[in-house]
Structure 1
Amino acid sequence: MTLALPLPHPLLRWWRSVLSGSPTAVRGASSGPPAINELYHARRLRLVRLAVLMVDDLGTAEDIVQDVFAALYRRHGAQLRSVDDPDAYLTAGVMNAARSALRRRRTARAYAPPAAGTAPAADERMLRKEGDTQVLEALGRLTVRQRLVVVLRYWSELSEEEIANALDVSRGTVKSTAHRALTLLRGLLGERQ
């Protein structure tokens, strides 16, 4: 199986003749190299087809081609005097932009939103007393360290020294954190000292 490559576009042949200084370019030498708008009208549809084959979406393909032409204009101006082969430049730009669009699409499809918070089982809710629910809600409003100290001290019944070793903090930090946590819990639960 042989791969047949298309003949270069007439504008591209003209551009190459301008660069090489051949006699065919002398006739059009007064007009200079093609302006970006001429190149756009001559190559846009071919580039959109190429992008559609890559990304399988006409809207995205048109956006890609527009972005590549805009980048070409920003970088080289309207007359494209510094571009050796504008067709190759545009084709490479469209291919790279299409690959980037596919990477973004793949990343977006791979994203899994975090699962919604789990609700307690119905029997668990029934077995809890009203006070337990309020205490758990109040504990949820504490900082992580405060919650750890309170749970380790009053649920696990660890000493201040054991808590300090477990959390890798000083004993004074455990005391002050426990005091602040209990003050907050009393305020949240409506109790007075």
Structure 2
Amino acid sequence: MDIGLLYHHRRLALIRLAVLLVDDLATAEDVVQDAFTALLRRHGHRLDELGEPEAYLRTSVVNASRSVLRRRRTARRAPLARERPCPPPEEYVLLREEHREVLGALGRLTRRQREVLVLRYWSHLTEAQIAQTLGLSRGTVKSTASRALAALARHLEADR
């Protein structure tokens, strides 16, 4: 498989995945671009020796998203008070209210719960693929998804 073809077919899906994990389109695009750059640097234009390049990229995107979130958490702990930038007004116009509610509730889940739900319901991955991407057992993925759905339901109910 050629990396250009892979980029053409999987870039948008990976950006969507990263957006749901880091909650910022520009950062998500950077994360995906960095994942493709690392893949190219490590394996060149031909990916014949790499068994599953899509799984490699998904794992890279999830790991890079975790790093972004860690850096953000560290920055928030800094003693300087920082104002949070307001999202652009068109962002809220584009999302229907129930989508905003779900995204808000998703943001209150733990990192692992959010990752599992995003990979399962947004990226449509199987439990085995999620386990491989996150480096977890299938049982952990299954129990995390169950707890995450219950927590998501509680958050949505509390908001109403």
TM-score by length of 2: 0.49
* Larger RCO of the pair (alpha carbons < 8 Å, separation 6+): 2
Higher Cα radius of gyration = 1
Name the one with the larger helix percent: 2
